[in-house]
Amino acid sequence: MVLEGVGLHTGAASRVVLTARPGPVVLRSAGVEARISELSVVSSERSTTVQAHEGRLRVATVEHAFAALAGLGIRSDVVMDVEGPEMPLLDGGSRVWCEALASLGVSPAAPRLRITRAASVEVGASRYELTPGSGVDLQVVVELENALVGPFARWNGDVEDFIRRIAPARTFAQTRDLDELATMGLSRHVAPEAVVLLTPEAVHSFGRSFTPDEPACHKLLDLVGDSYLFGGPPIGRLRAIRPGHRANAAAFAQAVEQGVFRLERASSPTVS
């Protein structure tokens, strides 16, 4: 499968070839490839950028593609060959990624990351409350200056529910962010249908209808994608309050270091 578009922030043309191939999930760029376990987060400024092999492989805005992999339970047998500095924005969420990956016919597997004990991790204004459990239970609470936006989203690991409700949630911006984005030269080539713009009093969206929980669902989507780098989504309950890419990466790394997360063997029971 071939997916083409432009990057959310760079506006650069991007082409991704998805191929089914036995072995671990691999990210490849400019002839250099790395397994997911070899990737490290090197930037989380409004998106997640990963690299490997001392920077010879570097790809930005991977979270929507990784969310699709995690949401579908794909943990092996896929190569993602990227041409360009950034993954394409496509529909602004993970729906197109899910459709393309599902067409490869790769068998799903359970998540490998388990919450071992109750803990709370704080990163700046973000807080992550973790509790052991038998299944996936991700919860996101957002605080946005708009009464039309629902503050809560939840996902229990069900693949069909992810495809139907979480994957279509588009990236969003608030009007207070626009000056900063313009100053940084970011997000200049975004298709209106792929982004939701929030003002304190209104919601501006094009294409399909906006749903009140869409921003919270997109934050949950981002959390799922960021967790994939660590073997997620985690088994247990994770309640993320005011999450963001930078906080996601820091909180997961901290939880791994403190033993709150345990990475299990690939033969774990299937996800609920």
| Residues identified as active-site | 245
Residue 271: CB atoms within 10 A of its CB come to 18
Burial class (CB in 10 A: 0-12, 13-18, 19+), 101: buried
Tokens of 234: 């985690």
In whole angstroms, give the CA distance from residue 38 to residue 52.
6
Residue 272: CB atoms within 10 A of its CB come to 13
Q: How far apart are the first and last CA of the chain?
A: 28
In whole angstroms, give the CA distance from residue 175 to residue 199.
6
Say how far residue 217 (Cα) sits from the centre of its chain.
11
Could you tell me the sign of the dihedral formed by the alpha carbons of 142, 143, 145, 146, in that order?
Answer: positive
- In sequence order, the 6+-apart residues with CB closer than 8 A to the CB of 185 are none
CA angle 141, 88, 66 (to 5 degrees): 50
Tokens 């997961």 belong to: 252
CA nearest neighbour of 76 among 223, 224, 228? 228
